Structure 1
Amino acid sequence: MRIILFVVLFIVAAFIGGIAFILFNLDAFVKEAVETVGTELTQTSVTLNETNIDPANGKASLSGLNIANPEGFETDHALALGLVSLKMDPTTVTGDVIVINEIVVDTPSVIYELGESGSNIDAIHENVMSFANKLQSQTSGSSGGETTSSSAETAPSQEASEGPKFIIENVYIRNVSTAVSLNVLGGKKLEAPSVDVHLTDIGKKEGGVLAAEAAIYIMDNLFKDVAASVTNSGAGKLIEDALGGVDLNNVEQQLQEQAGEVLGDDAIKDITKDAEGALKNLFGTGD
Structure 2
Amino acid sequence: MNKFVKIASITAVALAILIVAGFIFVYSSLDSIVKAAVESIASDMTQTEVTLNDVEISPTTGQGSLRGFTMSNPDGFKSNEAFQFDEISVKIDIKSLTDDVIIINEVRINAPHITYEVGPQKSNIDTINENTQSHGKSSETTASNEDAPKFIVEHLYLNDGEISVAAAPLGDKTIDVDLPNIHLKDIGKGDQGASPAVILQAAFGAVTKNITGALGSVDLDGLAKGVTDGVKGVADGVVSGASGVTSTVGDAASGATDGIKGAADGAGNALKGLLGD
Normalised-by-shorter TM-score class: 0.7 to 0.9
In 1, Cα distance between equivalents of 2:228 and 2:204: 32
Is residue 116–residue 274 contact of structure 1 (8 Å, CA) maintained in 2?
no
The number of aligned residues is 230
**Which position in structure 1 is the counterpart of 2:219?**
236
Amino acid at match of 2:22: G
Q: CA RMSD in A?
A: 2.8
Q: Does 1:82 align with 2:91?
A: no
The DSSP-based 3-state class of the residue aligned with 1:199 is strand
In 2, Cα distance between equivalents of 1:185 and 1:195: 24
What is the 5 A alignment of 1:34-73? 34-73=38-77
**Which position in structure 2 is the counterpart of 1:126?**
130
The DSSP-based 3-state class of the residue aligned with 2:103 is strand
Amino acid at match of 1:77: E
Is residue 191–residue 235 contact of structure 1 (8 Å, CA) maintained in 2?
no
Flag the 1:201–1:161 CA change in 2: closer, same or farther, 3 A.
same
Percent identical among aligned pairs is: 32
In 2, Cα distance between equivalents of 1:77 and 1:161: 31
**Which position in structure 2 is the counterpart of 1:195?**
180
Q: Which structure has the greater CA radius of gyration? A: 1
Moved more, 120-129 or 98-107: 98-107
Amino acid at match of 1:44: T
**Which position in structure 2 is the counterpart of 1:146?**
none
In 2, Cα distance between equivalents of 1:29 and 1:157: 21
**Which position in structure 2 is the counterpart of 1:273?**
229
TM-score by structure 1 length?
Answer: 0.71
Is residue 63–residue 84 contact of structure 1 (8 Å, CA) maintained in 2?
yes
The DSSP-based 3-state class of the residue aligned with 1:70 is coil
Amino acid at match of 1:236: D
Is residue 109–residue 178 contact of structure 1 (8 Å, CA) maintained in 2?
yes
Deviation, structure 1 residue 45: 0.8
In 2, Cα distance between equivalents of 1:111 and 1:35: 19
In 2, Cα distance between equivalents of 1:41 and 1:205: 23
Deviation, structure 1 residue 69: 0.2
Amino acid at match of 1:188: K
The DSSP-based 3-state class of the residue aligned with 2:52 is strand
Q: Does 1:9 align with 2:4?
A: no
Amino acid at match of 1:225: N
In 2, Cα distance between equivalents of 1:164 and 1:225: 29
The DSSP-based 3-state class of the residue aligned with 2:78 is coil
The DSSP-based 3-state class of the residue aligned with 1:78 is strand
**Which position in structure 1 is the counterpart of 2:110?**
106
Deviation, structure 1 residue 198: 1.1
Alignment deviations for residues 84-113 of structure 1 (CA, whole Å, 9 cap, x no partner): 111233332221122222211110010000
Flag the 1:274–1:70 CA change in 2: closer, same or farther, 3 A.
farther
